[in-house]
Amino acid sequence: MDFKITLATKITIMRIIVVPFIIISIIRQDWGMALGLTIFAGLSDILDGKLARIRNEKSLLGSVLDPLADKFLILSCYYTLSVYEKGYFIIPKWFFLLVLLKELILILSAGLFLNKNYVKIEPVNSGKAAMMSQTFLLNIIFLLNYLKLYLVNIYFALFCFSLFLVLLSLYQYAKIGIKQLILYKV
């Protein structure tokens, strides 16, 4: 794998470029645009992964940019929703900080283990599920705000489910990281 820019990587870069437009949409309370752009970003995430596999164009650049694009999207949107507090549904500041903490731990751990050939850095299923639930929660927030529906039970259930998955993945990543620190004396 190398740093070549494949078609899949171009799609990932496009997903990164869309994020500021989503943020502007949130600030302007243009919930329909925010929803549309977030759905576009989600579909492009699926597409770039499939293209990389089908075309056998996996690259180191793509494998680094893809998860960073996801983190950039979620953290930017959650931060904006927690600070601007517009619309019916927002993200509590403490939840944004929890998600930020989890992502910083993952990024710093990956950097620590990057040079170690004997350490495996692989996503855990709860981490993938947490990212999916956070993205789904984001889309539901945009949809409910767009439709002006005050469905607190739906929001609260999805929020609690996302919180559970964030905490579970944080626990699992911490457990794996500590085990590798002890095992390999990194």
Domain ranges, residue 88: 7-184
- Residue 107 is assigned to a structural domain of this protein: yes
CATH of the domain at 136: 1.20.120
pLDDT in tens, 155-173: 999 999 999 999 999 998 8
- Residue 140 is assigned to a structural domain of this protein: yes
- Residue 166 is assigned to a structural domain of this protein: yes
pLDDT in tens, 73-130: 999 999 999 998 777 888 999 999 999 998 888 877 777 766 665 556 667 888 889 9
- Residue 124 is assigned to a structural domain of this protein: yes
- Residue 1 is assigned to a structural domain of this protein: no
pLDDT computed for residue 55 by the predictor: 86
- Residue 2 is assigned to a structural domain of this protein: no
Q: Produce one character per residue of 22-54: b if its CB has 16 or more CB atoms within 10 Å, e if not.
A: bbebbeeebbebbbebbeebbebbeebbebbee
pLDDT in tens, 51-75: 888 888 777 788 788 888 999 999 9
- Residue 69 is assigned to a structural domain of this protein: yes
- Residue 120 is assigned to a structural domain of this protein: yes
| Overall domain count for the chain | 1
Task: List the end-to-end C-alpha distance of the chain, in Å, as a whole number.
Answer: 25
